[in-house]
């Protein structure tokens, strides 16, 4: 399954994190030429070396995905280095959690810029090129908290909900051009960030998940691989919840 991705060029923003790493590895395993973005060069180079050791070749590029001009330049650079981008996974994101009462305009703007503006900044230069070539995949990594909201995450929940609104609108613009645009909304996944939470807090989270465990980054990566494949050509504007049944609607 999904073997039709050989030699496709895939760009995964923010690929050096837990879910991003799994997505990069899965797409690499399927024969894609994978690129990802980073902010911290030292961390990214160490990550790249680890990926290479595990048999995954990923090209890394410095880019602030909150900066439109930087994203336009990145699209040009990747096209020269690897070829036109066929698959875009908008995965980059940050949190600045606090209650709305304590949230500053800076907390709000940072998250909207990194998590939502970045989706426009990266998709807008690439989507017309995909449409011109008659094939493309855009996959936006949202969150369960964009669906149900979360205490202390008005900024993050708004950005992640906005991401799916963007998906539905953009999907309609390119549906006849062989390009699909979809969202994946993971629940609580066993990334380093989640595993760093105190055990008693993790246990409370797990108690709210019907399947009785955290998700694995690889499980999100498998959904990405399916949506990127020819098998998913009739699916567009959709939101795939991968949350263990924690939020159903």
At residue 226, the 3 state secondary structure works out as: helix
Task: Enumerate the β-bridge partners of residue 89.
Answer: 12, 139
> From CA 192, how far away is CA 185, in angstroms rounded?
18
- Give the DSSP letter of residue 4: G
Q: How far is CA 55 from the centre of its chain?
A: 22
DSSP codes joined into one string, 176-201: GGTEEEEEEEE-SB--HHHHTS-HHH
| Distance (Å, whole) CA 122 – CA 77 | 13
**Does residue 188 carry a catalytic annotation?**
no
Contact 93, 115 (CB under 8 A): yes
| R_g (Cα) of the chain, nearest Å | 17
Cα(139)–Cα(239) distance, integer angstroms:
10
Rounded-to-integer distance, Cα 240 and Cα 18, Å: 19
Q: Say which of 61, 68, 156, 188 is annotated catalytic.
A: 156
Enzyme catalytic residues: 156
């Amino acid at each position: 399954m999904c073997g039709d991705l050989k030699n496709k060029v895939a760009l995964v923003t923010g690929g050096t994190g837990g879910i991003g790493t799994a997505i990069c590895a899965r797409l690499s395993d399927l024969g894609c030429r994978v690129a990802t973005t980073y902010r911290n060069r030292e961390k990214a180079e160490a990550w790249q070396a680890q990926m290479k050791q595990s048999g995954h070749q990923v090209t890394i590029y410095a880019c602030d995905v909150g900066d439109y001009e930087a994203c336009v330049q990145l699209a040009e650079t990747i096209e020269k280095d690897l070829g036109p981008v066929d698959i875009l996974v908008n995965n980059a994101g940050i949190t600045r959690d606090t209650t709305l009462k304590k949230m500053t305009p800076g907390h709000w703007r940072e998250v909207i810029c990194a998590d939502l503006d970045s989706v426009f900044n990266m998709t807008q230069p690439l989507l017309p090129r995909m449409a011109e070539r008659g094939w493309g995949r855009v996959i936006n990594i949202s969150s369960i908290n964009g669906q149900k909201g979360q205490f202390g995450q008005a900024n993050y929940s708004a950005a992640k909900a906005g991401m799916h609104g963007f998906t539905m609108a953009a999907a309609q613009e390119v549906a006849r051009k062989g390009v699909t645009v979809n969202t994946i909304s993971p629940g609580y996944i066993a990334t380093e960030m989640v595993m760093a939470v105190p055990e008693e807090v993790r246990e409370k989270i797990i108690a709210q998940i019907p399947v009785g465990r955290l998700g694995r980054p690889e499980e999100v990566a498998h959904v990405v691989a399916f949506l990127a494949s020819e098998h998913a050509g009739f699916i567009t504007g959709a939101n795939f919840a991968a949350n263990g049944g924690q939020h159903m609607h």
